[in-house]
Each structure stands twice: as structure tokens, then as C-alpha cells.
Structure 1
Amino acid sequence: MTQLSLRLRVFLFFVLIGLGGAAVVALALWLGYGRALATTPENGFVFAGILATFGLVALAAGVWLLFDENIAKPVERIASEMRVRAHAGIANGVDTHGARYLGDLAHAAEAVSSRLTDAAVATAQRVAEETAQLAEDKARLTALLSEIPVATIMVSPKGRIVLYDGQAAEVLSQIHVPRLNAPITDYFLAAGVEAAVREMHRSGREVTLTLRSVDEAQGYRGRIKPLDAGGYLLIIEDAEARISPQAERPMVFDFSLLQAHAPAAVEETPLSKLTYVVFDTETTGLLPHKDEVVQIGAVRVLGGRIVPGERMDQLVDPGRPIPQSSTQVHRVTDAMVRGKPDIAEAGRRFHHFARGAVIVAHNAPFDMAFLRRHQARMGVEWSNPILDTVLLSAVLFGASQTHTLDALCQRLGVTIPPALRHTALGDAQATAEVLVRMLPMLEAQGMTTFGAVLEQTRQHGQLLEDLN
């Protein structure tokens, strides 16, 4: 059977339907004829009609199951595997064994994918060679800036952070977790910043100012300088005395934010322009209505890439003993959470970290249920748009596939170190890497905006209900 062509195989399905239908009708008529002789002709015809109807329906269902298992599902798998290769850059092989009844289709798909992969690898090598010098220059610049005893933050015309160096990251982290594209007024009181910006625009020159953190616990001496591209540089002059000498952070930037324009609604925003916060929780158990969070991990994705250094790894005191069975899974013990913030404080920190972003999780209803249950204690409202990587997987690979985090990582070439599996930050990092690979695949299928993706994911809501 594996040697038959796909065309002949499809023809045999129709032959099976034709011959099987004729056999079912003949058998129904024969049995109906016997019934008619024993009773009345009308009774025999009705009996034959009923038998023929049920027989034809059963035959159609059986042929459909054969077609679905041997034709439709393998074709769907090949399509998803080729999309992964084409748009996520993952060189997984085509499953030729699972598609053994598709004739030469699987082998042809494997050949095309291999050629594409070879071409992509060659191109990547050339690009890597040509950009190696740029990377080296960037590293030198970063090292040089790290030696300068000031902290530098670049702010866009819209008042959002475009760049911060390692020293600025330390200053910001004393207030909140540093975040690209966050308003500068999330960290420093707006009155002082806005007054200095107005003076800078009026005079066109550098302006000195005193910065106060939003919690009013810290003050800094600073100055702002206008930029030709718009926006300004904020330089904090007394940062060196405020930071740990052992702290090492990379320079983080995204210059496209200088020209970023806010869309009218999040549904109309291109996927590549959204800010995502990908998170995971570890808990005392699997019941959101009674169990508690013991750890929150989160990373930020901006411009289709994971932002280095912008992460949250927070242990949470659940206010109760952690069952040994749960500790065996996530390795969080009572001693580790003793003295840590409770869910009210940890939730507020995460809410601030996720401000203005789309929240992403694997099986998001489970994790969000814990946060929403305590939102009154937190004093916040969880109104962020939400994406679920389970549903994104169903959209891209079909509902019949396996959609666990492990299966997705294997499918998309993401490696979770065993020591980080079932830790909040480790699973959040893996989910973020999965998301980054999925975004170009979604765009390639025409789902270029957040609203278009939401419309598709709603068709697979039953998956989450079954999962939970």
C-alpha cells in the first residue's frame, strides 16, 4: 500500500465509497425483500430504506476516518512542519513515516525544505561574517559606556524609554524592573521631568534637573539633552554611588521606538509592534480557587525578540505550608518563601511589570485565575489583553496535535534545561522563545494584527476547557 501514488490512493477511497454503498443498498434491499414477504410490501420498503440510510452513514464515517488518519492529518502535519522551517528557522525533518501513504509528497516536501534550509544557513553565515565586526564594535562601546560614571537613558518624543545602559538599569531597578518602551514617568515623578522637557524645548539646550523616584524614596541629579532624531538623553550623574560595583547588565535598546506611533486600538496593532509579557506561575496545587502562588516568573518580548535583562523572578509567600508533592515538581520549599512578599505585593509588582503589554502564558486561564482571585488585595485590575500559546499552537498546527509546552518546544526547536523545567522563570523563558518563533508563522498565514489572531484563537476555546 505504501508504494501506491497519492492520486491512486484517493481514487481507491472513491471506489470504496461506490462499491461499499452499492453493497449496503443491495444488502438492505435483500433484507427488506425478506421483511416484505413476511409482512407487507410497505413494511419491507421502509425497513430497507432505514437499513440503507444507516449503512451509508456508517460507511461514510468509516471512509472519512480512514481519509482523515491517512491523508488529511499527514498533509496538515507536513504543512505545519514546512511553516516551521520557512518562518521559524527550525530545521526539523519532515515526518516521512507518518506521511507514508501520501506517495511522493512527503519526500518532495523534505527535498524543498532541505534546499530552503541550506540556502538559509548559507545566507545566515554570510550575514554573521559581515556583522561580526559590528557586534565587536557594539561590545566595545558598551564596555566604554560602562566605565563612564553616569547612567544614560534615551527617551523618545512620546516620553518612552528607547535605550538604557548598564548603570541606568541598576538605577531603574531600584524603583521597578527596567522596561524598554515604558514611560519614563513610571520611574520618576512626572512634574520634574515634564518641566525640564518643556524648558529644553523652549531653549533648545541642555537642562539640569533633580529627579525624584515615583515612590519619592530617592533623588538624583540629572540633565537632559535634546536629540536630533527627536526625544532626549536623560543622564543621571550621581548613579555610580547608588549601584553595586558587582552589577553587570547589558546595554538595552530598540531605536525603532523613536518613531513608534500608538495605534487607535490594540486589535489593529501589528503583531510585531506589540509588547508582550510572557509569564508563568508555580503554585501549592492545581486548584486556582483554593491553592496559592509560590513563584512568578516573567520575561518581556519587544519587536519580536526577548529583551535581555528585562525579567521578573519573584518567590511568593503563600501563607501556608507548601505540600511536598508540589515541592517535588517545582522545587520551591517553605524555607525559600519565608519572608518573601505575599501575593498582594508580588501581584502589584507583576502588574507594574506587565503595564501596557499583552500578557502571554501557556494555558493562561489557569495562571490568570490565581491573580484575578486576589486582585482586590492587590488593588489592581487585570485588564491586559491576553494570548495563550496553547491556542496559538492549535491555530498553527491543528487542534488534533499535542499542545503541551514540552511538545511545542520540541516542535519549534526550543530547549528547556532540565534544571529550569517547572520553574516559573524557566517555563516563562521557554514560552517566550516559543512565542517569538510563532509570530512570523502567524503573520505568514495572514494573521498580521492582534485582532486577527484573537478571532482565530476563539475557534479553539474548547481546548482550554478540556485542559482545565
Structure 2
Amino acid sequence: MSLSLRMRTFLLFSGSAAVCSLLVVLSHYFAFNRLDDGGAVSAFLISGSLSAFAILAVTTKVWLLFDENVAKPVDHLAVAIRTRAHAGVDALVDLHSSRFLGDLGPAVQAVTGKLSEVSAETNDIVANETARLMAEKAHLSMLLTEIPVAIILVSPNHRIMLYDGQAADVLGQVHVPRLSASVFDYFDETELLAAQEKLSDGRSEVLAKVKGSQGKLSFELRLKKLKKVPGYMILIDGTKAQISPEAERPLIYDFDLDEQESERALENRPLQDLQFVVFDTETTGLMPNKDEIVQIGAVRVVRGRIVPGETVDQLVNPGCAIPPASTKVHRITDDMVADAPDAGSAVTRFHGFARDCVMVAHNAPFDMAFLNRHARVCGLSWDHPMLDTVLLSAVLFGETEAHSLDALCARLDITIAPEHRHTALGDAQATAEALCKMLPMLSSRGYTTFGEVIQQTRRHGRLLKDLN
């Protein structure tokens, strides 16, 4: 485990103080052995003790000055550089706090300023090219919308690599569409595998009637073998499926998903390969043992990017009156939740949305306490791996900094619109944006796998205890 500059400095000064104190004590000990006069002995012992305390006091004072004027500013400068380089944030350099570092503060400011200029030029080029590609993608999505066929591309390990707007409507009849989710979350596994095996027998196309995974719906699917790439395509005739003709959804895809090492142990998998569900809850109060959920919001992050459209924004009927003090915070009233599903139904649906994902929240123990209570009633198990952005913030910016969601967003230049703050989806969206900016920063610190990040967050676990 690598030690921070501040800890190394503390150990250096502590070691120096200990050595000096030991030398003083030893010198007086030898003097004591050579004296017979009791008064002289007492004087030597007193002077030795006072000398030791004096050395400790001076060393402590010097260390505090060094920590405040050298170690902390160096840490802040390092954070500013990493935030600029890896999160694309114009982090301010505090020249006053780094005034005792000579030209280092202005030099860092110059470097970060130059990075900003280069980044701005690069961003303009990227923005122009991205705009062109997005226009082409939008045009393609529009053309696909005009074709009454829903399209889903599935990887060899039966993960969804692409779906279009009409497929989103079809998948949404079973559950919220999710990129990289198992296709068996939406279609009956036995029936779909039987159809897919016929493709393996040399046929290029197979027609099949397949039930939805929950057994309540039936779909007429056409499976086609892909010639140049592994996997297969599922086509669904829009005239026979419940597809909204006016619905427009972006074309969602990630063709790198079929290359992921899904069999590798989670702790050894790179952060960028993981799927995250970033979530938040709004409640009737702050006591998980007696208060209730009134809203669940969640956003999916795949390969370090927020997936558009793959969200949960669910009001929940708490089965009791919402206190006015709570409504004042999240603006959810009794009338708004009157026709909403109960907590058991909402939590069960969210459990399916979070399947196979690492769950992420800001102060996760609070939200998980509500989910766990209802999971026991519904027969569910929240055994998902967890990350907490409070702890990630502490790993990257130091434990002494503020780690509220507002403070983290301000540090990473993330704006939460006032009307979205303290809504479950609004806070989940902001937390997801923070996660996407912190992932490359963590990698730059050498924490590239999930296991390495978890090991670092455990060092700051007491922050959550203090919050809760």
C-alpha cells in the first residue's frame, strides 16, 4: 500500500522526534549511572524529560507547518492536474495556499491552462466530427424507425449489443431495455435457445414463436445468422408487435461488448469493462427502519458512458402520508403517488433493472437500508457488488475535503438543475456523471480493477459511519 506525501512527511518528523528523544533519554541515563548524588540524579531526570517534551513540541509544530504549507498544497496541485487531465475539468489552482512552494503553483497553473487550451482545440475538432457522426446516426435511426421491424443484435454469449427505437418498445413490454443485458431477461431462454441452435445447424434464418421471460407475452421472432461477425440478429415484425409508430428512441449499441472477459473474477476486471447502475431514492424520512420509499431513480453506465434512455424514474406509493417536511425537500406529494405501485413492486422491478451490475450510490448504506428491508419481504437478495461515490471522492481528493453530492459536483464541474436536485433521477444522473469523470482519475492513480478500488475505499469507511 503506497503512502501519501502527508503520511510520509508525518512519519519522517515522528521518526526524527523519536530518535532525538531517545538520544536525550540515553544521555541522561548514562549520566545517572555515573552520579551518586540523589539531587543531581533528580535534576538530570527532570531536564531529560523536559528536553524530550521540548523536542516533541518543536517537531510537532514544524510538522504542522510543513503539512499545512507544503504537503497539503502539493496534494491539491496533484489533484488539480489529474482533474484537468483525466476529468476534463478546469480545476482552480490555489496560488495563495501554494505560496511557500516557490514557482511550483504558477507552473502548475500554466500547465493546466495550456492543457485547457489544447483540450479546447481538440474538443472543437472532436465536437465537429461527433456532430457529423451523430447526424448520420440520427438519420440512420430515423430510417430504421420508418421500417416496421424491430432490430436486436445479440453477441455469442447472448448479450444485447444493439437495439433500435422499435426494439426498445418491444423489450420495454417485458422490462426496461438494457444494453449488454442477457437477452434471456426478455425472452424465454429455453425457446430462444432452441431457435438459435437451428442457426448453428447451418440455417441462415429461423422463425420462432417465443414467450416473454415472464411468460405473459408472446413474440414472433426471426433469427438471422450474422455472416461477418459473431452473434445473431433478432428481427420482430412491427405490424405484429406493440410498437408505437410515433416513438423515437436513439439507436443504442456497443460492439465491444462481445469482447469482454465476462468470465474473469469481478475483482480482477478493469473498471472500464464493468456495468454500473447508479441510483438514488427519495423517502418519507431519514429512518430506514420505519420510513418508506416514495421514488426510485437510476441510470445505467456501460464502459464508462451513460446509456441514453436506460433509466428508472419510478414514483412509489409509501402506504402512508408523506410528511410536509419531506415534501418540502423532494417536492413529492400524496396526490402524486396515489396511483403509483407499492414499494414491493417498485423494488422488485428495480432489482431486475440492476441485474449483473455494480450498484453505485452517494452514501449507499442509507438507500440500501430501504431496499434491503423490502427485499426481505419480497424474497429478493441484494447481493450486488457496491461502490459508494462518497468513498471514491475520499480516495481521489482526500478525506479532509467535503464529500457531499453538491461538493463533489462542484469539484467536477457538474451542474444539477435546481428542479432536478433532490429528485431520485436527478441525483442519480448527477452521481452517474461524477462516476464517469472519476473512473479515469482512479485509473490514473493506478487503481485499474474493481478489487483495487474496493481496497482503497475500505480505508475511508468511517466516513459513511459518520454520515449515518
Aligned ranges for residues 252-401 of structure 1 at < 5 Å? 252-401=252-401
| Aligned equivalent of 1:80 | 79
- How far is 1:56 from its partner? 2.4
Q: Report Cα offsets for 1:181-226 as digits up to 9, x if no partner.
A: 1111101111221111000111231111112112222112220111
Check whether the contact 1:168–1:239 (CA below 8 A) recurs between aligned residues. no
- Percent identical across equivalent pairs? 54
| Aligned equivalent of 1:33 | none
TM-score under structure 1 normalisation? 0.90
| Aligned equivalent of 1:3 | none
Q: Secondary structure at the match of 1:115?
A: helix
- Higher mean alpha-carbon deviation, 243-252 vs 193-202, is at 243-252
- How far is 1:240 from its partner? 6.6
| Aligned equivalent of 2:173 | 174
Q: Secondary structure at the match of 1:374?
A: helix
Check whether the contact 1:393–1:408 (CA below 8 A) recurs between aligned residues. yes
- Higher mean alpha-carbon deviation, 267-276 vs 44-53, is at 44-53
Q: Secondary structure at the match of 1:242?
A: coil
- How far is 1:345 from its partner? 1.1
| Aligned equivalent of 2:104 | 105
- Higher mean alpha-carbon deviation, 44-53 vs 193-202, is at 44-53
- How far is 1:248 from its partner? 2.4
- Higher mean alpha-carbon deviation, 54-63 vs 182-191, is at 54-63
Check whether the contact 1:154–1:233 (CA below 8 A) recurs between aligned residues. yes
| Aligned equivalent of 1:58 | 57
| Aligned equivalent of 1:226 | 225
- How far is 1:323 from its partner? 1.1
Check whether the contact 1:84–1:90 (CA below 8 A) recurs between aligned residues. yes
TM-score under structure 2 normalisation? 0.90
Matched letter for residue 377 of structure 2: R
Gaps (5+ residues) in structure 1?
A: 1-9, 30-38
Check whether the contact 1:171–1:239 (CA below 8 A) recurs between aligned residues. no
Q: Secondary structure at the match of 1:263?
A: coil
Check whether the contact 2:169–2:243 (CA below 8 A) recurs between aligned residues. yes
Check whether the contact 2:137–2:251 (CA below 8 A) recurs between aligned residues. no
Check whether the contact 1:281–1:296 (CA below 8 A) recurs between aligned residues. yes
Return the alpha-carbon distance in structure 1 between the equivalents of residues 155 and 337 of structure 2.
39
| Aligned equivalent of 2:152 | 153
- How far is 1:231 from its partner? 0.8
Distance 1:325 1:375, change over 3 A: same
Q: Report Cα offsets for 1:265-298 as digits up to 9, x if no partner.
A: 1001100000000001111111222221111100
- Higher mean alpha-carbon deviation, 451-460 vs 53-62, is at 53-62
| Aligned equivalent of 1:405 | 405
Q: Report Cα offsets for 1:295-338 as digits up to 9, x if no partner.
A: 11000000110000000011111122111111111111111111
Return the alpha-carbon distance in structure 1 between the equivalents of residues 213 and 462 of structure 2.
43
Return the alpha-carbon distance in structure 2 between the equivalents of residues 174 and 96 of structure 1.
56
Gaps (5+ residues) in structure 2?
A: 1-8, 29-37
Check whether the contact 2:166–2:238 (CA below 8 A) recurs between aligned residues. no
Return the alpha-carbon distance in structure 2 between the equivalents of residues 130 and 178 of structure 1.
28
Aligned ranges for residues 206-225 of structure 1 at < 5 Å? 206-225=205-224
Check whether the contact 1:88–1:438 (CA below 8 A) recurs between aligned residues. yes
Matched letter for residue 253 of structure 2: F
Check whether the contact 2:80–2:91 (CA below 8 A) recurs between aligned residues. yes
Matched letter for residue 357 of structure 2: A
Distance 1:143 1:240, change over 3 A: farther
Check whether the contact 1:263–1:269 (CA below 8 A) recurs between aligned residues. no
- How far is 1:239 from its partner? 5.6
Return the alpha-carbon distance in structure 1 between the equivalents of residues 402 and 67 of structure 2.
17
- How far is 1:122 from its partner? 1.4
Q: Secondary structure at the match of 2:89?
A: coil
Matched letter for residue 389 of structure 2: T
- How far is 1:375 from its partner? 1.5
Check whether the contact 1:317–1:340 (CA below 8 A) recurs between aligned residues. yes
Return the alpha-carbon distance in structure 2 between the equivalents of residues 130 and 373 of structure 1.
48
- How far is 1:131 from its partner? 4.2
Q: Report Cα offsets for 1:58-102 as digits up to 9, x if no partner.
A: 222222222222221111111111100001111233222332332
Return the alpha-carbon distance in structure 2 between the equivalents of residues 246 and 48 of structure 1.
90
Return the alpha-carbon distance in structure 2 between the equivalents of residues 327 and 97 of structure 1.
43
